Amino acid sequence: MPYDLIFPDTVRSYSDTPSYAHKLVNRLQSSFALVKQHLENSAEEFCKKPVSLPKSKQIAVGDLVYLHIPRIKIHTSKKLAKFNQGPFRLIKQFSPVIFEIQQVNQPSKRQKVHLKSLIKVVERDTFPNTQVGESPFPEFESVIAGR
Per-residue pLDDT tens over the stretch 66-112: 998 877 777 777 777 778 887 899 999 998 889 999 988 888 889 99
Q: Each residue of 18-46: pLDDT tens digit?
A: 678 888 889 999 999 999 999 999 999 88
Closest CA to 69 of 108, 23, 101: 101
Which is higher by pLDDT, 115 or 122?
115
User: What are the backbone angles phi and psi of residue 40, rounded to the nearest 5°?
Assistant: -65, -40
Distance CA 147, CA 145 (A): 6
pTM exceeding the 0.75 threshold for the entire prediction: no
Distance CA 27, CA 77 (A): 57
Helix (H) or strand (E) holding 102: strand 98-103
Distance CA 114, CA 38 (A): 29
DSSP class of residue 47? H
Cβ(57)–Cβ(118) below 8 Å: yes
Which is higher by pLDDT, 55 or 16?
55
Between CA 44 and CA 54, with CA 49 as vertex, the angle to 5 degrees is 140
Q: Percent of the chain beyond pLDDT 90?
A: 23
